[in-house]
A and B are shown apart, each in its own frame.
Chain A
Amino acid sequence: MGGKLNKKLKSLLERKKGSIVEKWRKVIHSSYPPETAQFLKSQKDRFHNPIGSSIEESIWPLFDEIIGDSDPVKTKKLLDTLVRIRAVQDFTPASAVRIIFALKEIIRGEILNEVESEGLYKAYLDFESEIDRFGLLSFDVFMECREKVWEIKRNDLLKRPGLLSAGMCPSYMMKRGFKHLEKLKKGVTQH
């Protein structure tokens, strides 16, 4: 995936990896209300902090994927770990995947001076495009998760014992169903 990262820029990013990813984690935590952000930061047990631990498990290797020769399967799995939870939480699609794009602002703050002094602007712009690609990929993952939620909802609906929940016998329901179909054909949708 993506083009080769400029060597100088890569070593600069590797050097700054710790502070970049820590700031990234903080930004992701801060997308939750303050009480929750505090909790996500302090609870280290993965079984008692599934959101925090999934963030921790994914952001470090994801950063390596972004600056390295990313493996599509691994990248998608990591993005899945990060986004799957957000796809069922109180986020709009944009704020769910915004956390990937936020990386650009964080990295700019960390290395822009050196990018300027080392004359790495072009390489840096290419690198930002790479982050954009990861951001878009995370939207794919988000949509797959949402599609899955709807698929589960649909299956759940189909599995419901609707025939019997109204306490009717199946043959009566079938007759009622036929009447309903006739009404629909006549354009009467309310019943």
Chain B
Amino acid sequence: MAKELTPQEMLRIDLSPPTKDWMDIPTVIKPGIYCYPAKPEKVEIVGMPNGHVWSPLDDDWGLPEDWKETFLEGMRERLDKHRSFKIFMDICVRCGACADKCHFFLGSGDPKNMPVARAELLRSVYRGEFTKAGKILGRLAGGRKLTEDVLKEIWYYLFQCTECRRCSLFCPYGIDTAEVTIIGRELINLFGLNINWIQEPVANCYETGNHLGLLPHTFKQNVEFMCMDIEEFVGITIEPPFNRKGAEILFVTPSGDVFAEPGIYTLSGYLLLFEHIGLDYTWSTYASEGGNFGFFTALDMAQRLNAKIYAEAKRLGVKWILGGECGHMWRVVHQYMNTFNGPPDFLEEPVNPITGTKFENAKSAKMVHITEFTADLIKHGKLKLNPKRNEHLKVTFHDSCNPSRGMGMFEEPRYVIKNVCPNFYDMPESTIREQTFCCGSGAGLNAGENMELRLRGGLPRANAVKYVHERFGVNTLACVCAIDRAVLPASMEYWVPEVDVAGVSELVGNALVMEGEHERTVDLRGRELPQFAQESQESAESGEEVK
């Protein structure tokens, strides 16, 4: 698809792009936008078909001879199975309400990234191959046949959607373009066209329980390594429990928190919080991943990878599950887990053992978000906090797509931040809460080779961060998602380099006044606190909350 330019083409510096119909504008696949293909062995490990070596820049993608039949048969099956998919294929009237709501369109200016157009790539095949009008009238009815070029175009744009669902918020018919992407990705996985940044975590998760492929002893050692940091920076010794049968609560978080910077500092925050309240809990080195890249591959793969969480809860005999800061993990937990692998009748309705609060929202799936849990503790005055330690931070909050749009968690993180950081400034209303802009790298697109795509997709979010940075001097972007923590630093470095990224639990950990701690002169990253001098204990106020 990508070809060398002729000398004439090199000399042509044309400011005017083609004005033809979108079906007539060929898609040129460009480095910097696509992610590398899945390694064959990572496809085979989980029993998926046609693992092979190929490149998106080659003409020959190594497709099996019957790829077209496989695709269309797969599409037919899913049209029958998922009523929502069939409806989404049929009812779009191309009103354009979603057109300018996608961060990839706003950042790239590529009209094929308008959600309506991206879904149209697949919808045109649906019309051309499945509907009478499309079969007879072809393009007149908005239909086209599935060819290799069409497949390549669909593939290219399926991986320019982060399944963030911002577009669905504005669709008058409630069409969820993320679901179209989900089904589209299932279809291309029928003949081995996944990207490696998704496939390898899936294979790792299948083999070791987590995306990073951390073996149990490594997982344990990494958590203990953060305990050594805590010993140095806070002055207390924590001995976290692992795989402890009979614990009240199982804690599951994305493995990025265990290994990737700055997620590891969020993990330090969890450790301090649990120690602070004396929580009866356990880590698991088997259910060692809250995230689920299977969700970006195929729904049955998501189900397979998710199964370990309930299985481990059952094995350890816990009462309920507490989950760490993650994005898509919470869409899976909130909207799929209970029907994927539940209902978990062997668990109890989650009750905060410190405050007695019943988490009614988690009554069925039995899994509670750490930020809900922390907010509840603060609300009941159970945490001894010294927000002054975060005084040098001017904080704003990025609502991650899935905890906000996927589970409606808007106020809890803000409430927690306001109680641990004296300076908090929200970004403009139309860029936060349910209207939040994606980080630009979700749904498995947080690779490095597609950095140009990530930076384009990150522009609308960064643009709002830049505004609060210029207006209020904001220097910290807080979030409750491991992918955000992994990708927003790159986006900030390019668009707003003055702003750093932190997990909410990290900010909580900095403010927590621990029993037996020494004078806290550095934060959880070991950076010196500018204002540590005369504060400490006397200003620590127990349970005084900020509304």
Contacts and interface: CB of A to CB of B under 8 A. Distances in A.
Contact of B448 (A90, A102, A156): A156
Nearest to A148: B494
Given A98-B13, A152-B451, A50 B460 contact: yes
A152 B208 contact: no
Contacts of A31: 15-17
A191 interface: no
Given A43-B100, A47-B428, A152-B490, A160 B110 contact: no
Interface residues of B, number: 49
Interface string A144-168: 0100110011011101110011110
B30 A90 contact: yes
A149 B456 CA distance: 11
A164 to B, nearest CB: 5
B448 A166 contact: no
B280 interface: no
A48 B213 CA distance: 39
A156 to B, nearest CB: 4
B445 interface: no
B17 A153 contact: no
A33 B110 contact: yes
A95 B14 contact: yes
Contact of B108 (A35, A45, A89): A89
B224 to A, nearest CB: 15
B248 interface: no
B114 interface: yes
A88 interface: yes
A95 B261 CA distance: 37
B106 A164 contact: no
Q: Is the interface of A mostly helix, strand, loop or mixed?
A: helix
B339 interface: no
On chain A, which size bracket covers the interface?
Answer: 35 or more
A39 interface: yes
A159 B493 CA distance: 15
A49 interface: yes
A36 B106 CA distance: 9
Given A88-B455, A164-B218, A47 B13 contact: no
Given A149-B451, A149-B494, A35 B212 contact: no
A27 interface: yes
A145 B456 CA distance: 13
B485 to A, nearest CB: 12
B455 A35 contact: no
A143 interface: no
A90 B490 contact: no
Nearest to A51: B109
A82 interface: no
Nearest to B211: A165
A40 B109 CA distance: 9
Contacts of B32: 88
A169 interface: yes
A99 interface: yes
Interface of B: 13-19, 30, 32, 99-100, 105-111, 114, 200, 204, 207-208, 212-215, 218, 259-261, 428, 430-431, 448-449, 451-452, 455-456, 459-460, 463-464, 467, 490, 493-495
17 contacts: A31-B17, A33-B19, A35-B99, A35-B114, A36-B105, A36-B110, A43-B100, A51-B459, A89-B456, A92-B13, A145-B494, A148-B494, A153-B451, A156-B451, A164-B214, A165-B212, A166-B213
The 5 closest A-B pairs by CB, nearest first: A156-B448, A167-B213, A50-B463, A35-B111, A32-B109
